[in-house]
Amino acid sequence: MSLENNTTEENKKSLNFIELMVEKDLKEGRNNGRVQTRFPPEPNGYLHIGHAKAIYIDFGIAQKYGGICNLRFDDTNPVKEDVEYVDSIMEDIKWLGFEWANIYYASDYFQQLWDFAIQLIKDGKAYIDEQTADEIAKQKGTPTVPGTHSPFRNRPIQESLELFEKMNTGEIAEGAMVLRAKIDMASSNMHMRDPIIYRIIDIPHHRTGTKWKAYPMYDFAHGQSDFFEGVTHSLCTLEFEVHRPLYDWFLDQLVTGSYRPRQTEFNRLGLTYTVMSKRLLLQLVQEKLVSGWDDPRMVTLSGMRRRGYTSAAIRSFIDKIGYTKYDGINDYSLLEHSVREDLNKHTTRVSGVIDPIKLIITNYPEDKVEEMETINNPEDESMGSRKIKFTRELWIERDDFMENAPRKYFRLTPGNEVRLKSAYIVKCTGFKADEEGNVVEVYAEYDEQTRSGMPESGRKVKGTIHWVSVPHSLDVEVRLYDRLFTVEDPMADKEKSFKDFLNPDSLIVKQNSKVEEYLKDAKPLDSFQFQRIGYFNVDKDSTPEHMVFNRTVALKDSWKKQNS
């Protein structure tokens, strides 16, 4: 095999099946070598990380092959849709780093879709059915039993045309009649059994107002919108695979020239310990089980952004799981791993004490203040270093002291030595407890010869703990976020509601945490590593008087340990 062939083979291996398909199409000159995709959200909720997966492939394919990707709001159901959602969707796509070529709305095609429906009726390929939804459902049959024909299936074309007009004028009540495509009631594909293509909805639309009362169904709007826009590759998730014959059937009636869109499906993103559907996320918001669409525990992009997840981390996670033809559920830990990986590279290391207790260095002069050099990020030299103040009174984590410690406890316990990070080795000499036995102060002595950076004293201590100088600390609120659900699949138990599996400890608020004063100018969304604890960012609720930090992710995965 020649070297050239070899490289092509290598290159092919790393392409996913969608890229391979597009390359083949380009080679064959399909649609004149044009690549055009769309991202088609329904504006009925905020985008979640599943949508990010679709966005990466829709926009990514266009970018990679010199084409364009449009944003199309699939706004064919006025009942659930809202402008608030339209705005948030645009913001989230931009945050992921993409720009659409054009913004379209399926509602812009209502006239064209209407005209096409009329054409179908005239061609004897659609009819008005006056049966109730129940009756229609009963006639559908099952995948193995053919359906039965509606008594209205062969009504005169003229009658259907007149009734279709009336469906749109308000003369006919919701649910009284529908327009159905006349395809095949015996098809093995249930979607081909005379699908409903128009129904009456008597609710104003957020863009077209009261102009329309008859609204096209998703299946009738989607492929045709692709066609009107010039989409070449219509990418969607696997649940639409069974809709593809219908997508193609409509196109067969519509296409006259050589251009034709094609639908291709890929696997949906599913994550453990969460629910991934706007409908369910909306319930959490409406029932106030979370603080809103951007609650940091939500799998919405706005929630993840607020929590401190970066778009780079989300992208890297999606790259890792890839695009396939098989649905599966991905481990939430893998997402968290990607978040840590990215934040590790970019965040400044700071000192934050979540649950503070005071450590007094009894042999350290009372008004002495020393400046200790600390490296901002050991992963990135260019981030430099800074000075932190060291004094006689320090805040340390309550966890870092134990009165009666087990043998392998290397932190502070009477008689034991630890290193205070970037400062001295201290030896614990005692503590003070209140009447209930709660430790209120810990005492220690420092050894002047052990200042960090000094020639090695030869003394080795096993533990290093972090600290914040009491007079140089800020009182802050810390929100410790954890997974929203306690089980891997909150939808698995059909007897129960997913809401029965909400994690009662998914948010723990600490009102009395301490951070170094260096953080006083930090702004919402700024991220840091609180050494030894995790990654934290400033919440949008934060004010200069009352700073609020969110735990983005702990330094280590505590769930793995519990579950394995």
Q: Which is nearer to ligand ATP, 131 or 277 (CB)?
A: 277
Alpha carbons 408 and 426: distance in angstroms, whole number: 18
* Residue number, 181 or 236, with CB nearest to ligand ATP: 236
Say which entry of Mg ion, ligand ATP, none residue 261 contacts (CB below 5 to 8 A, set by partner kind). Answer: none
Q: Which of 199, 207, 278, 340 is catalytic?
A: 278
- From the list ligand ATP, Mg ion, none, which binds 403 (C-beta under 5 to 8 Å, kind-based)? none
Closer CB to ligand ATP, residue 54 or residue 428?
54
Q: Is residue 526 near Mg ion by the rule CB under 5 A?
A: no
Least Å distance, CB 27 to ligand ATP, is: 26
Cβ neighbours, 10 Å, residue 492: 10
Q: First CA to last CA across the chain, in angstroms?
A: 47
Catalytic (active site) residue 278? yes
Binding residue for Mg ion, selected from 19, 23, 42, 380, defined by CB under 5 A: 42
Distance CA 176, CA 117 (A): 18
- Written in H, E and C, the secondary structure of 76-96 is CCCCCCCHHHHHHHHHHHHHC
State the Cα torsion 502-503-507-509 to the nearest 10°: 120
Q: Which of 125, 166, 260, 268 is catalytic?
A: 268
Whether 34 is a known active-site residue: answer no
Measured N-to-C along each axis, helices 311-321 and 332-346 cross at an angle, to the nearest 10 degrees, of: 140
- If the CB atoms of residues 281 and 507 are measured against ligand ATP, the closer one turns out to be 281
Least Å distance between CB 18 and ligand ATP? 13
| 238 forms part of the interface with Mg ion (CB under 5 A) | no
Q: Does 517 bind Mg ion (CB under 5 A)?
A: no
User: What DSSP line would sit under 100-143, residue for residue?
Assistant: -S-EEEGGGGHHHHHHHHHHHHHTTSEEEE-S-HHHHHHHT--S
Residue whose C-beta lies closest to ligand ATP: 50
In this structure, the number of other CB atoms found within 10 A of the CB of residue 14 comes to 7
- From CA 237, how far away is CA 219, in angstroms rounded? 14
- Binding region for ligand ATP (CB under 6 A): 40-42, 50-51, 53-54, 74, 236-237, 268-269, 276-279
CB-wise, 276 or 412, nearer to ligand ATP? 276
We find the least distance from the C-beta atom of residue 278 to ligand ATP, in angstroms, to be 3
Give 452's contacts (C-beta < 8 A, 6+ positions apart).
Answer: 372, 373, 419, 421, 422, 423, 424
268 lies in the site for Mg ion, by CB under 5 A? no
Which of these, 115, 174, 154, 529, lies nearest to 346 by C-alpha position? 529
Smallest distance, Mg ion to C-beta of residue 43, A: 10
Q: Which CB sits closer to Mg ion, 19 or 42?
A: 42
CB of 564 to ligand ATP, least distance (A): 27
23 binds Mg ion (CB under 5 A): no
Say how many residues touch Mg ion, by CB under 5 A: 1
Q: How far apart are CA 193 and CA 285, in angstroms?
A: 37
237 contributes a contact to Mg ion by CB under 5 A:
no
Catalytic site residues? 42, 268, 278
Where does this chain bind Mg ion (CB under 5 A)? 42
